[in-house]
Amino acid sequence: MEQEKIIQAGKIATQVKEYAKSFIKKDMLLLEIAKKIESKIEKLGGKSAFPTNLSINEIAAHYTPTFDDETKAHGLLKIDLGVHIDGWVADTAFSVDLENSEKNKKLIYAAEAALKNAIDLIQKEKTTLGEIGKTIQETIEAEGFSPILNLSGHSMEQYDLHAGITIPNINTQNQTELTDGLYAIEPFSTTGSGKVQDGRPSGIYQIIDDKNTRSPIAREILSYITEEHGSLPFCERWLIKKFGTKAKIALHQLESQGILHQYPQLIEISKEKVAQAENTILITKDKKIVTSE
């Protein structure tokens, strides 16, 4: 049953998050962190719903290590991980301070407090998307920081990470009521002006138009992606592990043919630090369960 799969994915995500908190240290390779997280997900019986995002400082989201990445963990690191069971996703994130900075710790606290207040509001009463955004914005601003206005939470469906409903991180005055469904709530706090812009290509891709391609390598790799990830995001690193560096050529071909979309890294426009907290909540007519904590 789908509800059991949603709960199970959440349980695995919770365990992996605790595991990640226990081993992440300054100067560890991001590549090693991602591999440990992703293999733990499999060991616990889940699958990665998307490549582990390990975004440092002003990179708000969409940094996943390349296959030969030499970046070491430092600064304010955001760990955003996803687990799925048959396409039912738990999406969760936390941030760590790796430079003993009071400011980082306060920024992280602001994102976590905003997440908690948003979830408390959802659990307490019927609420609107605008009210959730207002709570997030007020909590972060009360700590002296800004929410990121163009990043938001989202509804999820089977094999669909961003299923159409947006949960704002600011007061948009949106009167739409939050109804039954599966949602990720994800406040971002920053010492900057509170907006992200596109950065360099991330190596994170998703199928957007599953049409024919003439190139034999591209065809082979596309059929593997369809089988293995469906419409969920995946990364170059995973494909290089499976196919070697010819995967790079195939990805390039598939992207230029409009079959794949490659996500850009998302960078805070004033190049200031960003913290994130995220949990997944399941709302049914008789209960509201945070699946990932």
Using CB under 5 A, list all residues that contact Mn ion.
80, 91, 93, 184, 186, 278
Verify whether residue 186 is a known catalytic residue. yes
Question: Active site residue: 38, 62, 84, 91, which one?
Answer: 91
Q: What sign for the dihedral angle of Cα 172, 54, 231, 1?
A: negative
Verify whether residue 27 is a known catalytic residue. no
Verify whether residue 80 is a known catalytic residue. yes
Question: Active site residue: 154, 229, 236, 268, which one?
Answer: 154
Q: How far is the CB of 51 from Mn ion (least distance, A)?
A: 11
Do residues 171 and 137 touch, judged by C-beta distance below 8 A?
yes
DSSP 190: E
Verify whether residue 255 is a known catalytic residue. no
Cα 226 to Cα 62, 231, 268: the distances in Å are 21, 7, 32
Question: Active site residue: 32, 157, 160, 162, which one?
Answer: 162
Q: How far is the CB of 131 from Mn ion (least distance, A)?
A: 20
- Cβ distance to Mn ion smaller for residue 31 or 151: 151
Do residues 65 and 55 touch, judged by C-beta distance below 8 A?
no
- Cβ distance to Mn ion smaller for residue 188 or 213: 188
- Cβ distance to Mn ion smaller for residue 186 or 236: 186
Rounded to whole angstroms, the Cα distance separating 258 from 12 reads: 34
Q: How far is the CB of 275 from Mn ion (least distance, A)?
A: 13
Verify whether residue 91 is a known catalytic residue. yes
Question: Active site residue: 38, 58, 62, 80, which one?
Answer: 80
Helical spans, DSSP H, in 24-63: 30-43
- Cβ distance to Mn ion smaller for residue 54 or 93: 93
Q: How far is the CB of 186 from Mn ion (least distance, A)?
A: 5
- Cβ distance to Mn ion smaller for residue 93 or 178: 93
> Among 189, 161, 177, 194, which Cα is nearest to 121's?
177
Verify whether residue 236 is a known catalytic residue. no
Do residues 45 and 3 touch, judged by C-beta distance below 8 A?
no
Q: How far is the CB of 227 from Mn ion (least distance, A)?
A: 24
88 backbone dihedrals φ, ψ, rounded to 5°: -90, 120
What is the number of other CB atoms lying within 10 angstroms of the CB of residue 239? 24
Catalytic residues, by residue number, are: 80, 91, 154, 162, 186, 278
